[in-house]
Chain A
Amino acid sequence: MDDIAYWLPLVWASILAVAVTLYVILDGFGLGLGILFPFAPEEERRDVMMNTVAPFWDGNQTWLIMGGGGLFVAFPKAYGIIMSGLYLPIIVMLLALVFRGVAFEFRWVSKPNHQWWDRAFSWGAIVATFSQGLVLGGLLQGITVRDGTFAGGPFDWLTPFSVFCGVGLLGGYALLGTTWLIFKTDGALEEWARDKAKLALLVVLVSTVAVCLWTPFSVPRIADRWFSWPNMLWLSPVPLLTGLAGLACWRGLESNAQSQPFICTIALFLLGLIGLVISNVPYLVPDTLTVWQAAAPPSSQMFMLVGTLILLPIILGYTAFVYWTFRGKVRAGEGYH
C-alpha cells in the first residue's frame, strides 16, 4: 500500500503533464491564429486561417477539461487551492474562451455581418492566452495557503513576473499559429506566416531566456536545482536542446521547409514544459503542496487510472484519425462559396 501511495501520485502527475502539454500545443496553435487575426485583416485570409483549425478546435480544447478534470480527480486539494487562488484570471480565461469558441460557428452563420465575431475570435484568443500566462506565473510564484486552503488576496497573482509570462505565452502561441499556417497553407498566406513567424520566434527566445534567468534569481529553490553540481551537468541538455530547436526553427523558416518550423516549435514547448517540471518537482502547488500531499486516496486514483490507461490510447488514436482525415493544405475559395 505504501508503494502504491508513492507511485500513484507520480503516475497521475505524469498524466496531467501529458494533458497540459497536449492542450498547450493543440489549442496553442488555434489560439495563435486568433492572436494573428489583427495582423491579417483580409476576410479571405481569415476564412482560410479558421478553416485550418475548424474541424479540430473542439477536440483540442477538450484537453483543457482533461487538465482541470484530472487535477480534480487526482489532486482535489491542489485543485481547490489553485482554482480559488487564481480565481480572477481563470474566470476571465473561461469567459474569453466562450467568445473564442462560439465564434467558430457564429462567424459563419452571421456572414456577411461577421465583423464582431472576428473580434470575438481574436480578442477571445488574446485574453485567454494572456490569462493562461498569468495563471502559470501566479502558480510559479506560489499561492498563500493556511490550514490547507487558500488564504491570500484576490490579486496576489498580479506581478511583473506573471504579466511577463502572459506576454511570453502570447508570443509562444503566435509562433505555434504561424508555423501551423506554414504547414497547412500555401502561397501568399504561407509567405506571410513565414514572415510573422520570425518575429514570434524572436519574442519566444528572448522571453524564454528571461524566464530562465528570472525564476532562479527570484526563487532560491529553483536556482539550487539548476545551478548546483552535478545537477548542472545532468540538466545541461535542456538549455542546449532548446537552443538547437530554436536554431532549427529559424533555418526552417528561412528555407522552404513545410513542417520543420512547426515541429521545432513543438520541441521548444516540450523543452519549456520539461524545464518547468524540473524546476518544481515534486511540488504541485510550488512551495506548498507536493504531489503526495495533494493526492486523492489510492482507491480514487486507481479507479480512474484503469480507465485512463485504456481510454487515453483510444482517444489519441481517433484524434490522429481526424487529423489524418483533414490532412493537406487548405486553400482559399476552394472549400466554400
Chain B
Amino acid sequence: MDVDAVLLSRIQFAFTVTFHIIFPSFSIGLAAFIATLLVRWRLTGEERFNRLARFWTKIFAVSFAMGVVSGIVLSYQFGTNWSRFSEVSGNVIGPLIGYETLTAFFLEATFLGILLFGWNRVSPNLHVTAAVLVAVGTSISAFWILAANSWMQTPAGHEMIDGVAHPVSWMQIIFNPSFPYRFAHMFTAAYLTTSLVVLSVGARYLMANRFHEDAKTMIRMGLGMVAILAPLQLVIGDAHGLNTAEHQPAKIAAMEAHWDGSKPGGLVLFGWPDAAAETNHYEIAIPNVASFIITHDFNGLFKGLKDFKPEDRPPVMAVFLAFRVMVGIGLTMIAIGAIGAFLWFRGRLFDAGWYLKPVVYAWPLGFIAIVAGWWVTEIGRQPYLVYGILRTKDAVSPVAFGAVATSLAMFVAVYAVVFSMGILYIKRLIDKGPAGKAAEAPDALPSRPLSAAQGATRESLAAKPIGAGE
C-alpha cells in the first residue's frame, strides 16, 4: 500500500485510540473498586478500606486525567480525519456519542471533583455517593461508546438515503446484533484488568514485606474477582465469537487464518499467514478444532478467506496474531485465578511465594489483552469502517498529506512524553504504597475545618492539617 493520507489517518487513529483505551478500561474497574472499598468502609467501619480507597483514588486521578485528555482527541478526530464518516454515519453515531457526553462524561467529571477533593469537605456518605456516581458514569460511558462501535461492526436499525445512513429504530441501532456480546466482553475485560492490577500490587507488597494487612485485603479482593471473571470471560468470548461468525464471517476467517471454507477448520497453534499465497506457512494445527469452536461441531463448515474477494478481506496477519495474544493471556488469567483460588481454599495463599512472586509481574496482562482484542475487532472489520456500508478509504477527510503527517508526528511525540511520565508517576505512587507520605499531596485541597462531631478518627485519618474555611 502506498503511504497516503488515508494510511496516515489510520495510523493516527489506531495510535491515539490504542493509547486511550488503556486508561478508561483501567478507570472503569478502578472506579468500581474504589466505590466498593468505600461502601465496605461505611458498612464495617474498618480503616483499612478507607486507607486503600485513598491510595487507589490517587492512582485513579492520574489515570483518569490521561483518559480524559486522550479521549477528547478522539471525539474531534471523527471530524478532523474522518469527515466522510461523520457525514455518512453521523446521523446514527452522533446521538450515541452525544448521549455518552450527557449521561456519562459530565457525571464522572463533575463528581470526580468531590471524590478527589471532598474527603474533608462533604459528609462521608455524600463522598461515597460521589464515588459510586463516578463508577456509574464510567460504566454508562462504556455502554454508549460500545453501542456506537458495535453499530459500526453490525449496523442495524437504519436506512440508506443517498449514501447517508438515516435512523429508523433507535432500539435496533443501540441494541444492534453484536452490542450485547461486545459490551459484556469489554466490561468484563475492564474489571478483569483492574482486578489483576490490584492482585499484583497486593502480591508485590506482601512479597516485599510491606503493608501486610492492606496487601492481604488487595490480594483477596483482586483474586476473588479474577477467579470468577476469567472463566466467565471465556464463556462470553465464545458467545461473542459465535455472533461474529454469524455477522462478520471474514473477521472470523482471519482470526483463525482459515483459507478454504469447503473443509472444516483446524485450530492453528502456530503459523505464518501469507495473504499473497493464500496459505499459512509452517502451520501446526489441531484438525477440526476451529470448526468445533466456531460451529460447536467438529465437522462444521465456516467461511474461509478464499470465499471473499481479496479486496474484501481484512489484513489476516495482524488479526491472526492479535487474536492469539488475547486468547493466550485469557488462558493465563484463568490459570492465575484457579491456582490462587485453590491455594486460598487450602489456606496457603499468603505463604505461597512461588505463586505470588510471578503474580507481581502479571499486572500488564489485562492491558495487553484489551489492546490485542481491540486490534482483532477493528482490523478484522477492515476494509470497512462501517461494515458493509462505508469503506475506510472512502471515509477520510480531504486534508493534505503534509497536515496529517505533521499531526501524526506531534501525537507520537506528545503521547510518548506525557503518557510515559504518567505511567512513571503511577509506578511511584504504587512504590510509596497506601501509607506513603508523598502520596498525600494530591488531595491537598481547601477543606473546611473538621467539626467536632466528625471526631478525632477522621482527623487522624486525614493525616493532614485542618483545611481552609469559608
Contact = CB atoms under 8 A, between A and B. Distances in A.
Nearest to A319: B110
Interface string B446-470: 1100000000000000001111111
Interface stretch (B113-121, B198-206, B256-264, B274-282): B113-121
Contacts of A81: 83
Interface stretch (A94-102, A193-201, A218-226, A231-239): A94-102
Contacts of B438: 109, 111
A325 B464 contact: no
B103 interface: yes
B91 A296 contact: yes
A64 B72 contact: yes
A299 B111 contact: no
A104 B443 CA distance: 12
A83 B79 contact: yes
B79 A59 contact: no
A297 B159 CA distance: 12
A87 interface: yes
Given A55-B116, A88-B407, A69 B75 contact: yes
Given A55-B116, A101-B69, A72 B469 contact: no
A180 interface: no
A51 B445 contact: yes
B402 A154 contact: yes
A109 B87 contact: no
Interface stretch (B47-55, B93-101, B345-353): B93-101
Contacts of A149: 83-84, 398
B102 to A, nearest CB: 4
Contacts of B92: 300
Contacts of B99: 304, 307
A297 B98 contact: no
Nearest to B443: A336
Contact of B98 (A83, A151, A304): A304
Contacts of B357: none
Interface in B129-168: 166-168
Given A55-B117, A318-B111, A334 B465 contact: yes
B62 A109 contact: yes
Interface stretch (B229-237, B378-386, B422-430): B422-430
B441 A109 contact: yes
Interface in A33-86: 47, 51, 54-56, 58-59, 61-62, 64-66, 68-74, 76-77, 79-84
A331 interface: yes
A105 interface: yes
B79 A68 contact: yes
B76 interface: yes
A109 B109 contact: no
A76 B397 contact: no
Given A59-B110, A109-B441, A91 B410 contact: yes
Contacts of B428: 109
A315 to B, nearest CB: 5
Interface residues of A, number: 77
Given A55-B113, A328-B470, A80 B102 contact: no
Nearest to B116: A55
Given A90-B76, A98-B70, A150 B397 contact: yes
A297 B170 CA distance: 14
A151 B97 CA distance: 27
A255 interface: no
Contacts of B103: 307, 311
Contact of B68 (A58, A73, A153, A315): A58
Contact of B418 (A79, A99, A109, A110): A99
B400 interface: yes
Given A83-B83, A336-B464, A65 B101 contact: yes
Contact of A97 (B72, B91, B466): B72
Contact of A84 (B93, B100, B106, B397): B397
Interface string B379-403: 0000000000000000001111011
Nearest to B432: A109
Given A109-B425, A318-B107, A331-B446, 8 more contacts: A69-B94, A74-B94, A109-B429, A110-B425, A154-B400, A300-B91, A315-B102, A337-B464
Interface of B: 58, 61-62, 65-66, 68-73, 75-76, 78-81, 83-84, 86-87, 90-95, 97-103, 105-107, 109-114, 116-118, 121-122, 166-168, 170, 397-400, 402-403, 406-407, 410-411, 414-415, 418, 421-422, 425, 428-429, 438, 440-447, 464-470
* 9 nearest A-B residue pairs (beta carbon): A336-B444, A83-B79, A76-B90, A328-B470, A80-B83, A55-B113, A334-B468, A73-B94, A84-B397
